[in-house]
Structure 1
Amino acid sequence: MRIGNYEFLKSNQWCYQIYLVTPDGWDGKAKTRKSPIDGRSLIAIECYPNTVEAAIKRCINLNERDSVDTCDAAELLAKVEQLHDSMRSMAREIANAG
């Protein structure tokens, strides 16, 4: 998922890798990963967020640091958090019913 100048991809079951998306035509490194979205080169920044919410928050923070608008991402984050809260609530109800 791309948010502003950053993209995150699932690295393994413990974390998401956050990448800086390079400008079109960037040719600084031959062995950079390519984005599945549009084939642009990605430079690995960090690998730590273990949830979608944490990865979105980190991308928002990085974009805000770079003065990039992230209003749409904040709305997305709110929807993802609401969905996860709803799923946790349903899981508790199912567990308590049985």
Structure 2
Amino acid sequence: MIKYQIVADPRVANDLKEARDFLNSRRKGLGSKFLKEYKVLLKTLQSNPDFQVRYKNIHCLPLKTFKYMVHFTIDIPSKTVHLYAVLSTHQNPNKHWL
């Protein structure tokens, strides 16, 4: 099985922190559950990143429980997945997107 390397844009760390803080403000411990689910999603991307292209060459994969979506590209020759954002599906994408 081919494993893809995951490379995250530095802004992804901020997206994750904002999501964790927001979810913890709603209910204690919810942010930790979000991060655990995000890590499971990363393992999925390592083994099979070929998910729906939403716009241009950007693929999107929603988390199962939380209303967040990971935005990424795939570089097949180098076997690399580049993460660009982890966004709430309730946010205005024009406010946050690259």
What TM-score does the superposition give when structure 1 sets the normalisation length?
0.32
What TM-score does the superposition give when structure 2 sets the normalisation length?
0.32
The higher radius of gyration belongs to: 1
More strand by share: 2
Bigger relative contact order, structure 1 or 2 (CA pairs below 8 A, ≥6 apart) = 2
